[in-house]
Amino acid sequence: ATPISHNFIAKIIQDDLASGKVAKVVTRFPPEPNGYLHVGHAKSICLNFGVAEQFGGECNLRFDDTNPEKENQEYIDAIKDDVTWLGFNWAGDIHYASDYFDQLHEWALHLVREGKAYVCDLSPEEARQYRGTLTEAGKNSPYRERTVEENLDLFARMRAGEFDEGACVLRAKIDMASPNMNLRDPIIYRIRKAHHHQTGDKWCIYPTYDFTHGQSDAIEGITHSVCTLEFEDHKPLYDWFIENLPVPARPRQYEFGRLNLDYTVTSKRKLKALVDDGVVAGWDDPRMPTISGMRRRGFTPRSVRNFCDMIGVTRSDGMVDVAMLEHALRDDLNKNAPRAMAVINPLKVVIENLPENHCEMLSAPYHPELDLGSREMPFTREILIDQADFKEEYSKKFKKKFTPGNRIRLRCSYVLEATGYEKDDDGNVALVRANLIEDTLGKDPADEVKPKGVVHWVSASHSKMAELRIYERLFTSATPDKTEGDFMEHVNRDSLSVVQAYIEPALAAVAAESNFQFEREGYYVADRFDHTPDAPVFNLTIGLREDKSL
């Protein structure tokens, strides 16, 4: 269930419902399909869908598709997947702003007829000069006083494709001296001779974001149009259109602070550059802060939703410590992920008091507290443990290690006592000899000499090989966006390493996207696309708690 929020947006909605100002809350999540969604969008999704769920309302998914050149179907499909994966359901069908192009065109004509919009032939450069600055009023365009008839004719010819891109635009006639730059006769339609992924070649003029957004909200009966703070200055324009058009409802815009995470870039443009330059393998590379990248990395939907709940919703932009995201992830996996065993740096242990072909199937529970069932682990005469768990000589510091004469417990298995070891030509320990202490499955040794350490292990003969993809942070700077130079200069080029590991056989057969804690190694997930029983692939999701000694 979605956590109940008490943020200021939820409070506004609660008050509006209590006062009867709205009967039912309707929100929307309005991505532009010009890239994959990132963790910042997750905040907006959790907020918009979350408050609708909390107050018994609805949330629409609307593609804000007014820039055909930058948009495509791949992005639309990915965005739908992301929202669904996070566990939210949009109301009814998917909406597209382009569904309303006929109505928006009609409303543009309405403004022209009312003398509130005109066709302007200034070049972009001239328009910039006429627009003025924050401290200096703009000047009226020489085309501002065209008659209604002339404007109707020119706008019809814009639509018919008679003019080149950039030759003219349709502008709202508001106030060139307004202190709010957005009210200085903003563009509402521009010529783009581009094929549109939804409307094909029907249009060669496209409405701007500002002319589209509020009216789409009105058509859909959105009660609370929630967006990020950078649109605060656009609100007077949003309201101007709503007041000057015969729209069927009166939506209101509310702004909240966008999510910024350290060590992360949250801009589709920059994420696209990482993909286009081959810095990562794609939008869903496990190092990407995209929702699909996080999914592939092994985040669970619950961990992302819990994170969004943890950071809350405020009226100011802030920088969130990426450690908070990691905490939400680790906390969820610690509570819920099954445990399993993988050995990354193997050291063979021969248990000399077992027969050559000994193989006992041990039942090992998947979780210490939750009832997640258990799997069978083959226990054989030769096993593999991690090199770091064996020391040639006993010392107090190594009392939890396997050392000659010292005992350890194999996780979910028996107690062993080391009797000797062999070295290879380079002087590294290559093999350990040991004896099994009888009757120690789930029990202490009868002689009361209890092992201090517990180690993970796999059968040498029955384990499978797996590829482990070990990821580090993608950026070396906490603020790659803001530090000197291009953000690309702060990319960690060694953020992926691939190693081979020996995994217990049950792990090979798990479904893609299964999360695990590999005991004493970290949290791993079976890769969404590349994992197969014959060639298992696991991605490092995140390490175990830093303060937990291995």
410 appears as a binding residue in the annotation: no
Q: Compute the least distance from the CB of residue 210 to Mg ion, in Å.
A: 11
Would you call 482 a catalytic residue per the annotation? no
Q: Tell me if 228 contacts ligand ATP by CB under 6 A.
A: yes
> Of residues 268, 297, 375, 520, which has the active-site annotation?
268
Q: Compute the least distance from the CB of residue 210 to ligand ATP, in Å.
A: 13
SS (H, E, C) 206-243: EECHHHHHHHHHHHHCCCEEEEEHHHHHHHHHHHHHHH
Q: Are 446 and 439 in contact (CB under 8 A)?
A: yes
Q: Which residue matches tokens 């909240």?
A: 256
Would you call 268 a catalytic residue per the annotation? yes
Return d(Cα 81, Cα 59) in angstroms, integer.
16
Q: Tell me if 44 contacts ligand ATP by CB under 6 A.
A: yes
The token pair that represents 535 in the structure block: 């060639």
Give Cβ neighbours of residue 106 (< 8 Å, ≥ 6 apart). Answer: none
Name the one range near ligand ATP by CB under 6 A: 193-201, 237-245, 261-269, 283-291.
261-269
Would you call 423 a catalytic residue per the annotation? no
Q: Is the dihedral of CA 143, 106, 239, 79 positive or negative?
A: negative
345 appears as a binding residue in the annotation: no
445 appears as a binding residue in the annotation: no
Return d(Cα 128, Cα 444) in angstroms, integer.
82
Q: Which is nearer to ligand ATP, 313 or 412 (CB)?
A: 313
Q: Compute the least distance from the CB of residue 39 to ligand ATP, in Å.
A: 8
140 appears as a binding residue in the annotation: no
Q: Compute the least distance from the CB of residue 47 to ligand ATP, in Å.
A: 8
32 appears as a binding residue in the annotation: yes
Identify the helix (H) or strand (E) that includes residue 5: none
DSSP assignment letter at 502: E
> Of residues 70, 258, 272, 433, which has the active-site annotation?
258
Q: Which residues make up the interface to Mg ion (CB under 5 A)?
A: 32
Residue 28, contacted partner among ligand ATP, Mg ion, none, CB below 5-8 A by kind: none
Residue 30, contacted partner among Mg ion, ligand ATP, none, CB below 5-8 A by kind: ligand ATP
Return d(Cα 364, Cα 116) in angstroms, integer.
74
Return d(Cα 510, Cα 548) in angstroms, integer.
27
Residue 60, contacted partner among ligand ATP, Mg ion, none, CB below 5-8 A by kind: none
Return d(Cα 168, Cα 170) in angstroms, integer.
7
Please report, as residue ranges, which positions from 3 to 32 form the binding site for ligand ATP (by CB under 6 A).
30-32
Return d(Cα 299, Cα 277) in angstroms, integer.
25
Q: How many residues bind ligand ATP (CB under 6 A)?
A: 15
Q: Are 108 and 117 in contact (CB under 8 A)?
A: yes
Q: Which is nearer to Mg ion, 32 or 467 (CB)?
A: 32
Q: Tell me if 212 contacts ligand ATP by CB under 6 A.
A: no
Angle 393-397-400 from CA coordinates, rounded to 5°: 80
Give one word for 461, left, alpha or beta, with left for phi > 0 and alpha for psi -120 to 50: alpha
Q: Which residue number has the CB closest to ligand ATP?
A: 40
Binder among 26, 36, 41, 159 for ligand ATP (CB under 6 A): 41
Return d(Cα 300, Cα 333) in angstroms, integer.
8
Of 247, 143, 147, whose CA–CA distance to 187 is shortest? 143
Binder among 26, 36, 40, 294 for ligand ATP (CB under 6 A): 40
Q: Tell me if 258 contacts ligand ATP by CB under 6 A.
A: yes
Q: What are the backbone angles phi and psi of residue 386, rounded to the nearest 5°?
A: -80, 140
> Of residues 32, 326, 382, 513, which has the active-site annotation?
32
Binder among 267, 336, 387, 492 for ligand ATP (CB under 6 A): 267
Q: Are 463 and 384 in contact (CB under 8 A)?
A: yes
Q: Are 534 and 540 in contact (CB under 8 A)?
A: no
Residue 14, contacted partner among ligand ATP, Mg ion, none, CB below 5-8 A by kind: none
Residue 76, contacted partner among Mg ion, ligand ATP, none, CB below 5-8 A by kind: none
64 appears as a binding residue in the annotation: yes
Residue 259, contacted partner among Mg ion, ligand ATP, none, CB below 5-8 A by kind: ligand ATP
List residues forming the annotated binding site for L-glutamine: 64, 209
Active site residues: 32, 258, 268
Tell me the binding residues for ATP: 32-34, 228, 258-259
Binding site for ligand ATP (CB under 6 A): 30-32, 40-41, 43-44, 64, 227-228, 258-259, 266-268
